[in-house]
Structure 1
Amino acid sequence: MDRRTTRLLASLLLVIAVIIIGIKNFQTKSEAAATPPKKGYIEVKETAYADLEQEVEHWKQKYEDLKKKKTAPPDKPAVKMMHLNINDGMTSKEVSKQMEKAEIIKDANEFNDYLSAKKWQQSIQIGDYELTSEMGMQEIAETITGNIPEKE
């Protein structure tokens, strides 16, 4: 054999080797793609998987929102009732403190300031009164003073 023939044979073997390697790689990729997923699994593209993850987050958020709505609001505090007896010589501060202790009003000083602003501190009437925690400051003040606010 001469040199030319040897080179031709070597070139031919190289080309055949490259073709065989290419076919093998192509077959393994296509076989992997054609292989069905394991039992109980499905194949999903990456974009579809990302969409599914977003949908999961969306439903988790909806679940949390519904859970918050379903949680019953705290029960309204029980309505407190009080029999208030105002005697001769009692100051508005004393009356306010009695109502605060009975939980009819939240803050005795605030109620006393309200009476002061309306100039009703000296108008508190002696007597017995039925008060509840549902009454507002204005309603309580009107009840114990007998005053009706002026229309603005």
Structure 2
Amino acid sequence: MANEEQTAAEPAARKRGRPLLIGAVALLALAGGGYAWQVRQAAHVAAKAAAPDVKPELYLPMDPPFVVNFRDEESLRYLQVAVTLMSHDPKAIEVAKSVDPAIRDALVSLFSNQEYAVISEDAGRRKLQGQALETVRKVVQARLGRPGIDALYFTSFVMQ
């Protein structure tokens, strides 16, 4: 009989202990979640503090596209190039706009002195793009005192 009373008391004790167990698990889950949130917030704040303020990219399309003729061994060739300048410096973009004729003159001279065999290959186009960027930087630096232009993109490149 004592054995029967003991077995009847065990489920009642288990039922009383379950809310305590569930509460403990919930408390651990909340504590773990809170810790994870604080670590994430601290990492986010540290990343913001370490990252410098990045200025937005500003683009200046050089319209209309450049059109030049040049001769190779076989015939007269035609090149049409659309160019867009990129800078993070608004002052450099303003200077580039104001000296558009000087930039266009320098780029027309550069583009018309190319060899078809060179610029018909990808490496030649990349080299020409680098030369064009340096040409624009020289013109802008002469007026602004610093290169100012960060990139030059060929947005269209047509040869015949």
TM-score (norm 2): 0.31
Larger radius of gyration: 1
Task: Between the two structures, name the one with larger relative contact order (CA 8 Å, sep ≥ 6).
Answer: 2
TM-score (norm 1): 0.32
More strand per residue: 2
